Structure 1
Amino acid sequence: MTSKLTDKQKATLWQQRRAASYQASCRLAGYMLSEPAITLEQADERLTSLRRQYGG
């Protein structure tokens, strides 16, 4: 029996697939991309921290 994905899991999976597809298409076009310095989870944590700090 398979379990269904939550909306957050679906969003994360979609973002990962989108990023991989974009990187692959850039490689095919001959562009060189650097990897992001932080992960999506780290960026979300940082945004949450800043929102608490600045009351957003």
Structure 2
Amino acid sequence: MTSKLTEKQKATLWQQQRAASYQASCRLAGYTSTEPLIDAEHAEERLASLRRQYGG
């Protein structure tokens, strides 16, 4: 018996697949990424930190 994914798990999986697809298409086009890649969890932490710092 398999368990169904939660909405949060589906969103995370979709974001991971989207990022991988984007990276692959960039490699095929000959582009190189100079920006560090960040996952959704770390992005939320970073946004919260910046909001605290700048009072947003």
**Which position in structure 1 is the counterpart of 2:33?**
33
TM-score (norm 2): 0.72
Unaligned runs of 5+ in 2: none
Higher relative contact order (CA 8 A, sep 6+): 2
Measured in 1, the distance between the counterparts of 2:51 and 2:4 equals 31
User: Normalising by the residue count of structure 1, what TM-score does the alignment of the two structures yield?
Assistant: 0.72
Q: Which runs of 5+ in 1 are unaligned?
A: none
Give the paired residue count: 56
